[in-house]
Each structure stands twice: as C-alpha cells, then as structure tokens.
Amino acid sequence: MESVFEIPFEGERLNAWRIGAAAAPPVLYVHGATFPSRLAVGYRFDGLSWADDLVARGFQVWGFDFLGYGRSSRPAGENGPAGRSEDAARQIEAVLGVMREAGVRADIRVIAHSWGCVPAQIAAARGRVHRLALFGPIVRRDGQVMPQPREPWRLVRAANQHRRFVEDVPAGAAPVLSERHFALWAADYLASDPDAAERDPPAVRVPAGPAADIMALWSGTALYDPGAVRCPTLIVRGEWDSLTTDEDAGRLYRGLGAAAKWDVKIARATHLAHLEAARFELYAAVAAFLELPGGM
C-alpha cells in the first residue's frame, strides 16, 4: 500500500510517496530532468516497477517529485530557469528530513537518475546519505560553451521522449522499448501535467533549471564537487548512453571522494535503462550495491 506525504517547502508543496514495510531499509529515488518519480521508479510495465522489485528484495522505497513536476506544486513564475541544482538539493534534504521524522532507519540509500544525480551529490556531500547509486549521471565536460535556456520553463512532448528511446540505439539493433509500452507510458506522461492536453501539440511543462545545469556542466562549469561525496557510491549506466559516456563515467569515478566506489555498465541499454528491456539487469546491479554491507 502506498503512503503519501505532502511536504511544505518554501511556501510550496512537495509530493512524496512510500511503499514497503516501514521497518525495512529505506531507499529514496531522485528523478531526472523531464519526468516525475511515478513515471520512473514507480512506473509499472506489465505489472512490475523498479520500486516493486526493490520492495520484493526487502527495502522500503520512497519517491518524490521536485517542484514543477508530477503531483508537487507548480510555481507560477521565476526569474530565470526554475529548479536549479542547489534548490533541488534543498528539496531532497526536506524529503530526507520527513523520512527521518517518519521513523525510518538512519542508513538511507539514494538512487538518483540523470540530472537528479547533481543535486543528489550535493545532498550526499552534506552527510545526509548512507549510500548513493548514480544512474546515468550528468558529469562536467571540458567542451565548448553551450547556450543555456533563459526562460523559467520548457515544454516536452511525447515525441521528444520517444526520440530519447531510439536515437542512441545502433542501427540494426532491436528496439530497447516496445511501441506498446511506449504508448502506455506516453499517455501517462502527458497526464502527469493537468495542462498538457490544452497545448497544441500536447506537451508537459517542466522547469528549465535542469537543462540549464546540464548545459553549464557541459560548458565546463563545476556545479558540484564529487570529491566531497564520501559515502559508498555506484555509477551505473547503459552501454549506449550518450549522456553518460565512458569518458564521463571515468572522470566522475576518479573525482569521487568515496573510498568505496564502483562503475557498472548495462548491456544494450541507453540513458533510460529503467524503462527499457534491460531494466531487470539494472535492477539487479543496483540491488547488489544496496544489499551488501560493504557494497558490491
């Protein structure tokens, strides 16, 4: 049974949820730049989600939506891109505080995806996290300066999401997500924004801050210090992930301050491996890290 929490945050409201036994080891999922937690760790393909898998392995799972996503408040306006990483890190810390008030064990594990790995590392560096799994983390690159969004929000269509499932798959390789599964997920994705259907074409409005953070990182700006992350850390990524390349993962791995750290690559998977055919390999790799006292 799912428990729901409404968490006050600077005049707004964060929506969080929990499944699994209250006495079980706690796991918090931190979503990425374009879709909320229930469309990620909580999404059921053929009746099973990543959260369900973790519960079956003996964990309790928490998820939440950053401001501007899913069931959390959608602030009316901002000066510049909304939802930058430092603000997002404070939202993570607010959820961690509520988890502790709810009586969870002190050893909170965090799984973060994509851009969500940036605020998750900021929060972990402040000593609030027992163990950290970084799935498809966005890493600083020494590339050319890239343009950053200036508006508070941006619109994402189902077609934009579909492109992400196909653009990194090599020619001739089998699709990583069936059209049937994508059609179901895309309908629920558009439904996650109550105003999506009123736009032409239908689109979900998301904060532009994550995109601004990604462009800043790829332009060489250090938005966080991986050396300050000292808890055991897993980097896990898809073989075909162009957003987290071998070079990216190597740079992050070398920069992490954690004494215990691992880098795992999932075969035949892209940046969205948690929604793809290889998701069960991802589940197993992350669970192996979470389950063992000393890591993997």
Model confidence pLDDT, tens digit, residues 153-210: 999 999 999 999 999 999 999 999 999 999 999 999 999 999 999 999 999 999 999 9
CATH superfamily of domain region 3-291: Alpha/Beta hydrolase fold, catalytic domain (3.40.50.1820)
CB contact at 8 A, 3 and 18: yes
Tell me, rounded to whole angstroms, the distance of Cα 183 from its chain centroid. 21
First to last CA, the chain: 30
Predicted confidence (pLDDT) per residue in 6-60, tens digit: 999 999 999 999 999 999 999 999 999 999 999 999 999 999 999 999 999 999 9
The pLDDT of residue 296 is above 50: no
CB contact at 8 A, 231 and 203: no
The pLDDT of residue 295 is above 70: no
Q: How many CB atoms lie within 10 A of CB 18?
A: 23
Q: What is the DSSP letter of 175?
A: P
Predicted confidence (pLDDT) per residue in 231-282, tens digit: 999 999 999 999 999 999 999 999 999 999 999 999 999 999 999 999 999 9
The mean pLDDT value for 101-130 works out to 95
The DSSP string of 129-141 is -SEEEEES-----
Per-residue confidence band for 148, with pLDDT thresholds at 50, 70 and 90: confident
pTM of the model: 0.97
Cα dihedral 126, 129, 135, 138, rounded to 10, equals 0
Q: Which distant-in-sequence residues (6+ apart) come within 8 Å of 283 by Cβ?
A: 50, 53, 54
The DSSP string of 202-219 is --EEEESHHHHHHHHHHT
